[in-house]
Amino acid sequence: MTSAARITPSAYQRHLYGSASIAAAAFDDVGYSTCTATTDPGPDQTLDDVTTTCCVNHGGVPAGTTYGIGCVAQVDNPPPDYRPTIVMPTWPAPPGQDDAQLEELEKLPPLPDIP
């Protein structure tokens, strides 16, 4: 997998779209999360395709992780020890599954109060 710190959005976008359509933009994490939550993959697409498209369309850089493709903000000349914040896609839960997960959370004891 490619590290997000080694790929610049311009290089990635040049790879996908050519240099003519590149526009500098700030990463819109809310727009990215909304896009991944509301976009269903087409018949010839995967979830990673949707994630990559939403990421690039909202000014981010696709980043491969153990859990799939995420998105990071562009950082010009990051320090050698830079660790980007990777925003993972927001996928809706399958019908009925979110209720079971919420019930499991409700069974847990409450968190202790913060002093």
Full residue range of the structural domain in which residue 60 is found = 9-107
Mean pLDDT score of the chain, rounded to an integer? 77
Residues near 63 by beta carbon (within 8 Å), at least 6 away in sequence: 2, 3, 4, 7, 69, 70, 71, 72, 84, 86
pLDDT at 51: 92
Residue 51 is assigned to a structural domain of this protein: yes
Provide the domain count of the chain: 1
pLDDT digits (tens, 9 = 90+) for 39-94: 888 889 888 999 999 999 999 999 998 888 999 998 888 888 988 899 998 877 66
Within-domain flag for 113: no
**Torsion angle, alpha carbons of 32, 54, 70, 77, to 10:** -90
